[in-house]
């Protein structure tokens, strides 16, 4: 068992939350009971995840995509009301770690994906993404590797060179960084969601492009964060994967 505020303080420091500007409050989003024994982790805040956590008698829900965003209305109604009611009625704490988790250098979505894809000589690509070298591979091999790493068939545009040696990546909705990959003369770029323009940019830029799903590419970090917390504090931590095709 650990005190809620001790856990929050540790995670804020470990993930360097206050050093990474984001689109809403990160870390604590809804305060629940003071003591923590059982944590449920998931990619995104949702009624389905919250109901699963309640069934498992979780004290804390820890997610990558929280429920408080700067762009959203302050009016409490609809899905937001449903989610908030479940947390408050069951005294469950909600913790959210977005960009800080994407870019963390140990358990972040991008570093874990980079390692799983075999990247080395890794360096930043834009503000959040990464780029690096790989042992020479074909587009067919990269396609299969992306499918294996993210457990999802990607949208894949095969317009790069026959031999792939340099790859860029950024989890989630980072199709915009395809331009950065082209400027960096990379052979391939992997993200979660494509944009309508991705097809044309990949074709005209002579680069392979893979989009393996926003949800699928961001399972790695939150699951690893849960495992880290479980090991450090001896807590029961369970990852709940609410299916999302996007």
Instruction: Domain ranges for the chain, please list them.
Output: 2-102, 109-217
What pLDDT is recorded for position 170? 98
CATH class of 2-102: alpha beta
What pLDDT is recorded for position 225? 98
Angle, CA 203 vertex, CA 201 and CA 204 arms, to 5°: 65
What pLDDT is recorded for position 6? 98
Q: Please, what's the b/e burial string for 203-219 (b: 16 or more CB within 10 A of its CB; e: otherwise)?
A: eebebbbbbbbbbbbbb
Q: Residue 122 corresponds to which tokens in the numbers above?
A: 């890794």
**Is it true that 2-102 and 109-217 share their CATH fold?**
yes
Cα 79 to Cα 69: distance, rounded to the nearest angstrom? 14
What pLDDT is recorded for position 100? 98
CATH number of 109-217: 3.40.1390.30
What pLDDT is recorded for position 238? 98
Angle, CA 66 vertex, CA 61 and CA 72 arms, to 5°: 145
What pLDDT is recorded for position 89? 98
pLDDT digits (tens, 9 = 90+) for 152-190: 999 999 999 999 999 999 999 999 999 999 999 999 999
What pLDDT is recorded for position 58? 98
Cα 74 to Cα 196: distance, rounded to the nearest angstrom? 31
What pLDDT is recorded for position 157? 98
What pLDDT is recorded for position 8? 98
Is residue 59 within 8 A of residue 93, CB to CB? The reply is yes
Q: Which residues, given as ranges, of the chain have pLDDT below 70? A: none
What pLDDT is recorded for position 92? 98
What pLDDT is recorded for position 132? 98
What pLDDT is recorded for position 151? 97
């Amino acid at each position: 068992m650990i005190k809620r505020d001790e856990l929050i303080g540790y995670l804020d420091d470990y993930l360097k939350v206050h050093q990474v500007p984001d689109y809403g409050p990160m870390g604590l989003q809804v305060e629940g009971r003071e003591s923590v024994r059982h944590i449920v982790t998931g990619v995104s805040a949702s009624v389905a995840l919250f109901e699963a956590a309640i069934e498992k008698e979780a004290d804390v829900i820890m997610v990558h995509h929280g429920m408080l965003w700067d762009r959203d209305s302050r009016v409490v109604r609809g899905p937001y009301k449903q989610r908030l009611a479940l947390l408050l009625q069951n005294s469950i704490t909600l913790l959210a770690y977005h960009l800080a988790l994407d870019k963390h250098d140990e358990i972040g979505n991008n570093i874990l994906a980079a390692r799983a894809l075999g990247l080395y000589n890794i360096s930043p690509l834009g503000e959040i993404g990464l780029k690096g070298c790989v042992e020479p591979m074909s587009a067919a091999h990269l396609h299969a590797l992306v499918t294996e790493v993210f457990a999802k068939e990607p949208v894949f545009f095969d317009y790069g060179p026959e031999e792939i040696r340099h790859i860029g990546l950024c989890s989630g909705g980072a199709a915009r960084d395809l331009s950065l990959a082209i400027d960096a003369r990379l052979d391939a770029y992997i993200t979660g969601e494509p944009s309508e323009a991705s097809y044309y940019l990949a074709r005209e830029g002579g680069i392979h492009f893979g989009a393996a799903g926003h949800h699928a590419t961001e399972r790695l970090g939150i699951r690893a964060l849960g495992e880290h917390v479980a090991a450090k504090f001896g807590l029961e931590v369970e990852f709940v994967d609410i299916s999302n095709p996007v």
